[in-house]
Structure 1
Amino acid sequence: MTDLAQWLNRQTNDADLAQTIMSMAAAGAELAAVLRQAPIAGQTGLAGSENVQGEAQKALDVISNDIVLNHLKANSAVSILISEELDEAVDLSSQGRFIVATDPLDGSSNLDVNVTVGTIFSILPRAGGLLQKGSAQLAAGYIAYGPAASLVVRITGTTSVFTLDANGVWLLTLAAAQVPATSGEFAINTARERFWDAATTSYVRENVAGETGAAGKRYNMRWVGSMVADIHRILMRGGIFLYPLDSETVSKGGRLRLLYEANPMSWLVEGAGGRSTTGRQNILDVEPTDIHQRAPVILGSSEEVKRVEDWYRRA
């Protein structure tokens, strides 16, 4: 089987970019091993601190950030690290060509119940500065820590999936992921319905009406509460993920972070034939104003995303 190093050799002539992806993959392999032993080591509880967003940090949030930081410090190609767990960007190398933006442990609130969590990363050219559109990404990926550890990565073109074997090697298991254009599944937190805007409410009501409504088919709702888990399901079998702007999050610009959640996930989903939007524009076209900027996120099967966009146009 093809391993990650061999795949990268075919995908890019940029050795520094390949090495940066390998650094994130190595960090993921190390973190996968830590997560397997975390309940035994007593590492699933709170760390007693908060990140820049005011969210309580788990012990593993801190550990995962340190793992990523240490791997990138050893890579002279990386100049700057932007992390969800750090207030400010960290300078790593004055000569490095890349910026890495990361959520080192997405979905960490699920650790206590052994639900899939993940690491999300985006690689940007240093020359563009800290605040760049998602369309400027050179590569992006995530690592899902579930029954198997999966690395999903895209440079340009297609989105590929690797699985970590027993020897710690990432092996290619899906060369070109393809998100079906249509689907009968949607992922949204319905406990927030009272905050939704008219477009989101209308779209979800159509789905709930099933074959008796305008959508004309039956839908199932899925919601894990871990972005990596929800997006990985959509990447493998289709569907749509929605965390829209609503009346509670509007003052912050949304719930999810643009640089290290929305942009890399949009990059991956679009590479697999899917679509992404804030409701009013493509996520990859959003101009960032802050490294921890938030944004509405709607992405997945192209026809489903288009239906949501149609509702926003009507609104």
Structure 2
Amino acid sequence: AEEGDAAYGASHTSFYTDAVAKERYETLDEVLTRSLKDAKLQGMVRELLDACVKITEALRVNLVTVNDSSNTFGDTQLTVDVIADDLLWDLAKSSALVCEASSEEEPEIVKTNPEGQFVLCWDPLDGSSIVDNNWAVGTIVGIWDKSTGLIGATGRDQVMSLVTLYGPRTTVFMTLDDGVYEFTLGPGNEWICSRDKIQIKQDCKIFAPANMRAAQEVDGYAKLIDHYMTNKYTLRYSGGLVPDVCQQFTKQQGVFTNPTSKASPAKLRLAFEAAPFGRLVEMAGGKTSDGVSGNSVLDVKIEAVDQRTALAIGSANEVDRFNETVLAPVAA
């Protein structure tokens, strides 16, 4: 086997997949029964995945066109955004399990069923800027318990997070009691467990650098990018948060960086994007940084539904490198 830099090269077979075919794959129900003891959460997962099946179908048959409206953040809404959001609102308003919900498209907390147990926050279709290219996009969901609610809570208070990736296949990554699992949508719209107890290595050679404009102002970020290039890291960046972070689960390594500057302020939403991904990555052995203090993004208190944050997320040693290279010089 190759070692060192050669083992990371894009031509190396380990860069394509580490998955070995199995004779049989566990079903969603089998895994949930074993690895998610909360029966209500089991039901919530099933309802969310049913919605993601419908979103998959909508993406396959609907053309990407501009809708006659924009969301609260000023983003132009596309027809597929609206369809995905409507499907999730249909779920939230009809579910006996959801007491409150909020969408990135309209960031207000909406009370649904007072007898429900969970607060849902979702980005219905992250990656609107690349969906017209037919690139991979995704749905991001954070789930909090009604006992904490959302405002005043942190990402660490989530009881589960779940991210669905719509690419050539539809896959979903979720946090269960004993780790992070990947499920793949198979024939007959049945979900099978394609990876279990995913672990992200401490070191990596894959980088996904967002907000490159900030490197013009933040010397530390320019230095970090130069480190990646000089040390022959492999660039894997599409501009879509979901594929750019989810590759860490399939490659078992990687780092995504999104610092801020005066001219390039924070854009990622804490409740809708950073916190759900933070729970997934940290449960898989990775690390996060809030891009300001260097502490975990899961410890940032959610004080507003539309709160923004910087972010570094992925292999632990590379997040440490981000903190040391980008944040430490600023603090000094």
TM-score w.r.t. the length of structure 1 is: 0.91
Number of equivalent positions: 301
3-state SS of paired residue (2:86): helix
Contact preservation (8 Å) 1:151, 1:170 = no
Quote the Cα distance in structure 1 between the aligned partners of 2:239 and 2:313.
15
Name the counterpart of 1:234.
Answer: 248
State the Cα distance separating 1:248 from its structure 2 match. Answer: 2.2
Contact preservation (8 Å) 1:79, 1:95 = yes
State the Cα distance separating 1:76 from its structure 2 match. Answer: 0.7
Letter in 2 for 1:133: T
State the Cα distance separating 1:197 from its structure 2 match. Answer: 2.2
Name the counterpart of 1:285.
Answer: 299
Name the counterpart of 2:139.
Answer: 119
User: Given the alignment of the two structures, is residue 167 of structure 1 paired with residue 188 of structure 2, yes or no?
Assistant: yes
Quote the Cα distance in structure 2 between the aligned partners of 1:232 and 1:83.
21
Q: Deviations over 1:184-235 (max 9, x none)?
A: 121113641455423322211222222xxxxxxx212222111111011122
Contact preservation (8 Å) 1:81, 1:92 = yes
User: Given the alignment of the two structures, is residue 295 of structure 1 paired with residue 309 of structure 2, yes or no?
Assistant: yes
3-state SS of paired residue (2:132): helix
State the Cα distance separating 1:72 from its structure 2 match. Answer: 2.5
Q: Cα–Cα, structure 1 residues 103 and 185, in superposed 2: closer, same or farther, change >3 Å?
A: same
Name the counterpart of 1:259.
Answer: 271
Quote the Cα distance in structure 1 between the aligned partners of 2:178 and 2:314.
17
Letter in 1 for 2:191: W
Contact preservation (8 Å) 1:196, 1:245 = no
Deviation larger for 52-61 or 189-198? 189-198
Contact preservation (8 Å) 1:83, 1:103 = yes
Contact preservation (8 Å) 2:214, 2:263 = no
From 42, 46, 50, the equivalent of 1:18 is: 42
**Equivalent residues in 2 for 1:1-315 (5 A)?**
1-39=25-63, 44-131=64-151, 132-189=153-210, 191-210=212-231, 218-237=232-251, 238-250=253-265, 254-279=266-291, 280-311=294-325, 312-315=327-330
Gaps of 5+ in 1: 211-217
Quote the Cα distance in structure 2 between the aligned partners of 1:46 and 1:305.
37
State the Cα distance separating 1:159 from its structure 2 match. Answer: 0.5
Q: Deviations over 1:245-276 (max 9, x none)?
A: 222244xxx11000010001011111111111
Identity of aligned residues (%): 29
Letter in 1 for 2:280: L
Quote the Cα distance in structure 2 between the aligned partners of 1:157 and 1:244.
31
State the Cα distance separating 1:295 from its structure 2 match. Answer: 0.4
Q: Deviations over 1:125-170 (max 9, x none)?
A: 1121222100000000100000110010003431100000121111
Q: Cα–Cα, structure 1 residues 10 and 128, in superposed 2: closer, same or farther, change >3 Å?
A: same
3-state SS of paired residue (1:79): strand
Quote the Cα distance in structure 1 between the aligned partners of 2:178 and 2:263.
37
Quote the Cα distance in structure 1 between the aligned partners of 2:267 and 2:180.
25
Contact preservation (8 Å) 1:267, 1:284 = yes
Quote the Cα distance in structure 2 between the aligned partners of 1:236 and 1:183.
13
Quote the Cα distance in structure 2 between the aligned partners of 1:136 and 1:156.
14
Q: Cα–Cα, structure 1 residues 57 and 77, in superposed 2: closer, same or farther, change >3 Å?
A: same
- Considering only aligned residues, what root-mean-square deviation do their CA atoms show, in Å? 1.5
Contact preservation (8 Å) 2:211, 2:264 = no
Quote the Cα distance in structure 1 between the aligned partners of 2:71 and 2:211.
26
